[in-house]
Amino acid sequence: MIRLNLILGLIILGITGVSGQQIFSDSKYPLVDFRSPLAIVPPALAGSFGELRANHFHSGIDFRTNQRQGYPVYAIADGYISRLRVQNSGFGLALYINHPNGYTSVYGHLQRFSPKIAQQVKSIQYQKKSYEIDEFPTSLLIPVHKGEVIAYSGNTGSSGGPHLHFEIRDTRTEATINPQLFGIDIPDNIPPVIYSMYVYRLNKKPFNEFTPKQYFQVLGGSGNYRLNSVNTINLSGEVGFGIVTTDRHNGASGLNGVYSIELELDGGLVYVSSLEKFEFENSKGINSHIDYPTYLNTRRSIQKSFVDPGNPLKIYSNLVNNGRIEFTDGKLHQLKYTVTDSRGNKSTLAFQVQADNKATINSPETETGEVFSYATANEFSNPDVKVIFPKGTLYNDLNFIYKKLPKPATNAYSAIHQIHNKFTPLHTGFQLWIKADSTLGKYTDKAIIVNTGRVSQGGYFEDGYVKATPRSFGSFFIAVDTIPPSVNPVNVTNGKRLNGISKMTFKIRDNLSGIKSFNGYIDGRWVLMEFDTKTASLWHTFDNSTSPGKHILELIVSDMKDNNRNYSITFYK
């Protein structure tokens, strides 16, 4: 039955997407199976599905929790806890529930789990001697019922304020799906806002930081927008368009993402993007979806309406020539953007283009290097450096530029190798090998690759090279990390009486390679230390196992290069 609904849904999706119709289908997903994960009325969103974030699309919706933690979080339907996850960053404390209808619900940044789940988590943490865990219990271990309190909302992990991060995934494929398509009612009657429109002179070339672009201010409101000061734009040759648009929700002041963007040329669609669902491995494709060079320069996200050939996202449909439009016929053309939010509120921007051969703007002449194809693996090497780009790293063909620059004055064991530049986004990491100077000597075990901002890219020494996998282009050299992490007590001092204090807190930091592990022992017995990356806080919450009297706490904090800090204090309970 579930399979039949899926097939029916696919057929329905197949016949929609025609201009003027609802581009998302209500009948594709179950609308009555799930309740809201919170009881806050009315529900409001601080973040929408597919919202544009740094290096990823937001994979769920963020429910507002009135700037507070501790709201009960409910199982949205019957099922079982299929994954228990505790992370220093990311989702922090998170729960996954598999439901019999084929979907998995995910709850992140939780403050704490319900007592029965918390007990399971703590016993796993003690068994594995690790704060971070990622467990996949069987269906028998923790069954849950619709409406059961499973946790309390919080701010753990890389959360920027109290809220509930909530996702619905396809259990089989793990693709994440827009939760607003499941009938979870979030009132919103405010249409998206369109701020500006851009024209890119593509001229049959790959898009990059040199592509000439023109800005057009947009005016209007309440769903109707127009260009300021011009009604007709004169263009020649092959161009692409882009817009800056966000959505606002009732009861929320923040700016959220839109659901879909459609571009029509003379009444026919040439580009549609819609955030119904996406695969996690494609989420970094956001840097191809937007004008990435402009984003790096201004933090403004222009959503391009033309698709790079190596863009793996499956959010596009109705593409004509990948959204690249030729204006060569000397005629007047009608263009129209329609932007829709997840509740179906729409805004439009219409304008005219006069195809005019005198309006050509050519791309500038640029430095030429080796041409790398987006469709294949690519390699570059010389006696000092080797770079390997797996297939699927690039979104466009690249004119690859390499330069060797002088070695920095301090903590450097190679020249600086400029590997292209940061304005070209990469979908995956690339292999970077840098030949080490003879001065590296006894520090080979401590060597890493850093960028010129001295941010560690990780790495290890092998066969005369330090090898790492940076995730973006930049300028890199070899440095060493010989300094162990620091440990600073927050609410304890040596010999202190801790009666009435529920937890001991410390700050731990590392100067370069980053913290790999931390372990705490009271009188030689391993105890759970909890850690929050964003505040650098490490703490132990006392339980019955620490009896009244004198105790010794020992902490061992290690960085990625195995520099260990041993710290101990005496305290009294």
In whole angstroms, the minimum distance from the beta carbon of 180 to Zn ion comes to: 14
CA distance 324 to 85: 44
85/165 with CB nearer Zn ion: 165
Nearer to Zn ion, 259 or 476 (CB): 259
Which residues 6+ apart lie within 8 Å of 320 measured at CB? 265, 268, 269, 270, 271
Of 56-64, 79-87, 192-200, 350-358, the segment contacting Zn ion by CB under 5 A is 56-64
Instruction: Count residues binding Zn ion (CB under 5 A).
Output: 2
The verdict on 62 binding Zn ion (CB under 5 A) reads yes
Give the nearest distance from C-beta 91 to Zn ion in angstroms. 8
Shortest Å distance, C-beta 254 to Zn ion = 12
- CB nearer Zn ion, residue 165 or residue 289: 165
Q: How far is the CB of 58 from Zn ion (least distance, A)?
A: 6
Q: Which long-range contacts (CB under 8 A, 24 or more apart) does 489-496 make?
A: 489/569, 490/537, 492/553, 492/569, 492/571, 493/569, 494/569, 494/570, 494/571, 495/569, 495/570, 495/571, 495/572, 496/571, 496/572
Q: Which stretch binds Zn ion (CB under 5 A): 54-62, 190-198, 223-231, 496-504?
A: 54-62
Query: Are residues 461 and 436 in contact, defined by beta-carbon separation less than 8 angstroms?
Result: yes
Residue 176 or 393 having the CB closest to Zn ion: 176
DSSP string, 381-414: EETTEEEEE-TTS-SS-EEE-EEEEPPPSSS-SS
Min dist. Cβ of residue 62 to Zn ion (A): 4
How far, rounded to the nearest angstrom, does the alpha carbon of residue 43 sit from its chain's CA centroid?
A: 24
Contact string 147-166 vs Zn ion (x = CB under 5 A)? ------------------x-
CB of 360 to Zn ion, least distance (A): 45
Pairing type for strands 370-372 and 378-382 reads unpaired
Q: Which pair of tokens denotes residue 437? A: 């100077």
Looking at the Cβ atoms of 93 and 538, the one nearer to Zn ion is 93
Residues 394-423 that bind Zn ion (CB under 5 A): none
Shortest distance, CB of residue 81 to Zn ion, whole angstroms? Answer: 20
Nearest approach, Cβ of residue 497 and Zn ion (Å)? 42
Give the CA radius of gyration of the chain. 27
Distance, in Å, from the CA atom of 239 to the CA atom of 453, rounded to the nearest integer, reads: 36
Give the separation between CA 337 and CA 352, rounded to whole angstroms.
12
Distance CA 547, CA 258 (A): 56
Q: Which is nearer to Zn ion, 61 or 480 (CB)?
A: 61
Residue nearest Zn ion (C-beta atom): 165
62 or 481: CB nearest Zn ion: 62
Give min distance, CB of 168 to Zn ion, in A: 13
In contact, 420 and 403? CB cutoff 8 Å: no
Per-residue tokens: 432: 């970077």
Angle at 550 between CA 546 and CA 556, to 5 degrees: 70
Smaller CB separation from Zn ion, 73 or 508: 73
Give the DSSP per-residue string, 194-214: EEEEEEEE-TTSPP-TTS-EE
Nearer to Zn ion, 62 or 262 (CB): 62
Which range touches Zn ion (CB under 5 A), out of 9-17, 61-69, 73-81, 130-138? Answer: 61-69
The region of 62-70, 141-149, 275-283, 540-548 touching Zn ion under the rule CB under 5 A is: 62-70
- In angstroms, give the least distance from the CB of 165 to Zn ion: 3
**Least distance CB 53 / Zn ion (angstroms):** 9
| 3-state helix/strand/coil string of 224-287 | EEEECCCCEEEECEEEEEEEEEEECCCCCCCCECCCEEEEEECCEEEEEEECCEECHHHHHHHH
Single-letter amino acid, residue 401: I
Which among 7-15, 60-68, 278-286, 501-509 is the span making contact with Zn ion, rule CB under 5 A?
60-68
Interface segment toward Zn ion; rule CB under 5 A; list 55-63, 94-102, 265-273, 448-456: 55-63
Among the residue ranges 59-67, 287-295, 459-467, 476-484, the one whose residues contact Zn ion (CB under 5 A): 59-67
Helix (H, G, I), strand (E, B) or coil at 476: strand
Paired residues of 254 in beta bridges? none
Q: Is 167 in the site for Zn ion (CB under 5 A)?
A: no
33 and 77 Cβ atoms separated by less than 8 Å:
yes
- Closer residue to Zn ion, CB minimum distance, 159 or 303: 159
Closest contact distance (angstroms) between CB of 248 and Zn ion is 17
The residue (of 63 and 327) whose beta carbon lies closer to Zn ion is 63
Nearer to Zn ion, 301 or 347 (CB): 301
User: In DSSP terms, which residues pair with 497 in a beta bridge?
Assistant: 572
Q: Which amino acid is at 374?
A: Y
As measured in angstroms, the least distance from the Cβ of 255 to Zn ion is 14
Binding segment toward Zn ion, per CB under 5 A, in 58-66, 140-148, 501-509, 562-570: 58-66
Q: Closest CB to Zn ion among 62 and 264?
A: 62
Which residues are near Zn ion by CB under 5 A?
62, 165
